[in-house]
Structure 1
Amino acid sequence: MQNAIQLDKNKWFEFNQKQIGAIIQSPTGQGKTRFLTYLILSTAKLGADIYFIDGKRADLFSLRFSFDESVRDRHVASTPNQACRMLRELVEDMNRRYETYFSNENSKTGENYYSYNLRPVFLFFDELISTMGEDKKLAKEIESYLLQIMLKGRQSGYFAILSSQRFSAEVLSTTIRENAGMRVALGTMSKDSYKMVLGDFYDELPAAEKGIGKGYIYLDGLGWSTPRAFQTPILDTSKIDVKNVLKKLLIEGANRFKEGN
């Protein structure tokens, strides 16, 4: 399936049509990093340009070495100031696409980035609560940029995947959550944590095995009335040189599309 990522035998993350953006919550050691790595490599295989914000300067931040040194600072951020700069530039690039391709006299209804062979752009923002909690003033600016990407990004090819060990109402607005077409909760969490990620489905959650890489998923646009049990794809990162694989895929993606940004 083009412009979609397979999650298991029957589930796909159809980011281009049905599930615009995603939020993922998982306590420490419950498989979040492995799942993020799978999504990162999967989007890179589709040719996407990828950006990372890692509030704890941990796993995603270490992937900065997959980028050429000349563009590394533009693609990887950790501090609130760096995050604001990156997000502002992404929103500017997104709006430029709208002006160039979708707001002129030759534009046609229903066209999107894929119609013009534009490279999809994915933002992976890990430990959201850590970055936004560091600076309350900048947190508001970060939220405003994220909202623009979540609300406007689909047609122009800009997508955001937000993840954290836990979310709170202070850093994850209801608007962002409700516009995340894929929501994943891994491991065992409190009632409030489930509600923060999945919405008001807590009393209707089906039985599901909990553990590393296991929990619940909700995919928008499929007519689901409640989340479903989910196990993330198995990816043994000990057997994969993730940095080098990502570096190779990013180069291939840049060569595949006429517009890199």
Structure 2
Amino acid sequence: MKRRDTRSRYVIIWLAVMLSAGLAGWLLRGPVSTALAGWDAARVCTRIGLFCFLLADVLLASGAVWWAVAHHLRQGAKYALRHWQLLHSIKRAMLEAGYGIPIGEQYYRLPRVKIRFDDRTLTAGLVEVQNHIKSDSSLAAVNLSSALGVYVVDAQYISDDNNYYCYEISDSRIDRQLQFDSYTALSDYARKHTGKYGPYTLFADGRNEGIKIRSLLLVGITGAGKSYALMGLIAQLQNWPIPPVVYYADPKGSDIAVLGGSLVPERTADDIDGIIDLLHAFYAAMMERKEEMRGKLSGKLGADYTEFQLPAYVFLFDEFAAFQASISRDKKRRDEVEELMRNVVLIGRQLGFFAWISMQKSDSGDIPTAIRDNLPLKICLGNAPSTTMMTIFGHTSDLPSRHWGKGRGLIYCDGITAAPRPVSFPTLNFDIFAELTKPKQDSQSEGVNRA
């Protein structure tokens, strides 16, 4: 027997009454009144028929108003039709999958479903499915994408009050990856972005933008696009209205070491001793900033370095796992580095000091858990194994399962994303390394004294 939503009974009753009233009105005002012409009963039939017509009109109007309100017609006809289509598809899929509480043999009371699109372009939105004690565990594992047509689930989580399962959706036909054909185009976009969102913000794609700078964990296997992602982020930093101070550490002496050596050799290191000295210099600068801001922060609850337009400091640590492996047998140095990095991550946010750590995997043997778990911005590029996903995001069951191309993956950011969601870094159709290292008339960075 075909399953039906219990609410459909009310729709059937409404439709039956409306059609019956309309048919009765037509019969009474038409054939019946004609047959009784000349009799007093004809006038009575005409009046009753008029009442039936009015009843049918009221029912039709009330149904139209209900539909318009339920599907947000005030947002436009396209919005309302897409809302109705998506809601109908979700409910049909839930019925076929056996969700809902049985009411009799055929009817089921489905959980309440709410749909909200971000704007009238209908490219992204949020689906909320009401939680219930009988469907709690099943809703946690549901794959809603199969019922969304052209939409796919980007992130899944439960609401703060535990009453709804929330699914962030986006139109799979829309490619949000940005593309720049020149460094000038990238610079112009970066400047417009900081003008819109603030001088200390970053972007990745058309959806993940306005991200205030914070400590970062960037993970990706070889060929996933980590280096290009970092180069793109550095290019954004160079176009900030308040130029940041960047330190470059690369124990493998690869792209980041060469880039840093070209830009600021005094703040670049590619050997173990040099990196540790560089980290000490960064930490010392952070302590100086702390003393500088001590008096400024008094009386300003929640204020940080941005209130005083101070430059951000970034310690860019590429191939962190290789560095950890090099000092793994020297417990004293290893503990020293871990303490410095942990302090930067934990107390650097308010002072404007951040650690950007890039690596191929993030197991506890590659990065201390106390550091990894406190990094507020986490990005995984490429098709990483489930164990890596688990160490980065803490879970894998509700992560979007897709084949990620170069420069694409998942992002999680405290205070911005409720759950990990897709991200794609810009396609750069020019030599970003050459542009970044090209001599500039005005220095984009501020020097520091090495310890």
Matched, 1:8 2:205: yes
Q: Aligned residue for 1:111?
A: 303
Task: Please give the per-residue CA displacement for 1:25-54, whole angstroms capped at 9, x wherever unaligned.
Answer: 111111111001011111222211111111
Contact 1:132 1:142 in 2 (8 A): no
Is 1:235 matched with 2:428?
Answer: yes
Query: Cα gap change, 1:188/1:140 in structure 2, threshold over 3 Å: closer, same or farther?
Result: same
- Tell me the amino acid that sits aligned with residue 236 of structure 1: N
Rounded to whole Å, the distance in 1 between the matches of 2:313 and 2:282 is 9
In 2, the alpha carbon distance for the partners of 1:113 and 1:249 equals: 28
CA distance in 2, matches of 1:239, 1:91: 30
Alpha-carbon distance between aligned partners in 2 of 1:51 and 1:111, rounded to the nearest angstrom: 25
Q: Percent identity?
A: 24
| Correspondence for 2:368 | 173
**Deviations 1:146-191 (CA, angstroms, capped at 9, x unpaired):** 1111111111111111011222202322222222121111111211
Sort the Cα spacing of 1:249 and 1:216 in 2 relative to 1 into closer, same or farther, 3 A: farther
Distance (Å, rounded) in 2 between the aligned partners of 1:250 and 1:174: 41
Preserved CA contact (<8 Å) 2:231 2:433: no
Deviation at 1:114, TM superposition (A): 2.1
1:189 equivalenced with 2:381 (yes/no): no
Task: Determine the structure 1 residue equivalent to 2:249.
Answer: 53
Q: Which stretch shifts more, 44-53 or 108-117?
A: 108-117
- Other-structure match for 2:316: 124
Deviation of 1:109 (Å)? 3.0
| Local SS of the residue matching 1:83 | helix
TM-score between both structures, scaled by the size of structure 1: 0.85
CA-based RMSD of the aligned residues comes to: 2.4
* Residue of structure 1 in register with 2:270 after alignment: 78
- Corresponding residue for 2:235? 41
Runs of at least 5 residues in structure 1 that lack an aligned partner in the other structure: none
Corresponding position of 1:252 = 444
Q: In 1, are the aligned partners of 2:257 and 2:268 still within 8 Å (CA)?
A: yes
Aligned equivalents of 1:27, 1:240: Cα separation in 2: 21
- Change beyond 3 A, Cα 1:79–1:65: closer
In structure 1, distance between residues paired with 2:432 and 2:356: 25
Q: How does 1:17-36 map to 2 (within 5 A)?
A: 20-36=214-230
- Report the Cα distance in structure 1 between the residues aligned to 2:364 and 2:442, rounded to whole angstroms: 34
Shift of 1:67: 3.0
Q: Compared with structure 1, are the counterparts of its residues 11 and 56 closer, same or farther at alpha carbon in structure 2 (3 Å cutoff)? A: same
* Mapped partners of 2:431, 2:297: distance in 1: 52
> Conserved in 2, the CA contact under 8 Å of 1:101 and 1:107?
no
Q: Structure 2: 5+ residue runs without aligned partners? A: 1-196
C-alpha distance in structure 2 between counterparts of 1:215 and 1:166, whole Å: 14
Question: Residue type of the partner of 1:244?
Answer: T
Instruction: Determine helix, strand or coil for the equivalent of 1:230.
Output: strand
Structure 2 counterpart of 1:208: 402
Cα distance in 2 between the residues matched to 1:91 and 1:148:
9
TM-score normalised by length of structure 2: 0.51
Following superposition, the deviation at residue 115 of structure 1 comes to 2.4
Counterpart Cα distance in 2 of 1:218 and 1:179: 12
Residues 65 and 10 from structure 1, CA distance in 2 versus in 1: closer, same or farther, beyond 3 angstroms? same
Q: Which has the higher contact order (CA 8 A, sep 6+)?
A: 1
Once the 2 structures are TM-superposed, how far is the Cα of residue 249 of structure 1 from its aligned partner?
A: 9.0
Q: What is the CA–CA distance in structure 2 between the aligned matches of 1:250 and 1:65, rounded to whole Å?
A: 18
Matched residues, number? 247
Query: In the alignment, is the contact (CA less than 8 A) between 1:188 and 1:210 conserved in 2?
Result: yes
Q: Distance in 2 between matches of 1:164 and 1:120?
A: 22
Amino acid at match of 1:173: P
Match of 2:351 among 133, 156, 178: 156
Whether the 8 Å CA contact 1:185–1:215 is kept in 2: the answer is: yes
Write the distance in 2 (CA, Å) between the matches of 1:169 and 1:33. Answer: 23
2: CA distance between counterparts of 1:202 and 1:134? 31
Aligned pair 1:64/2:263, yes or no? no
**2:414 is equivalent to residue 220 of structure 1:** yes
> Which of these two proteins has the greater Rg computed from alpha carbons?
2
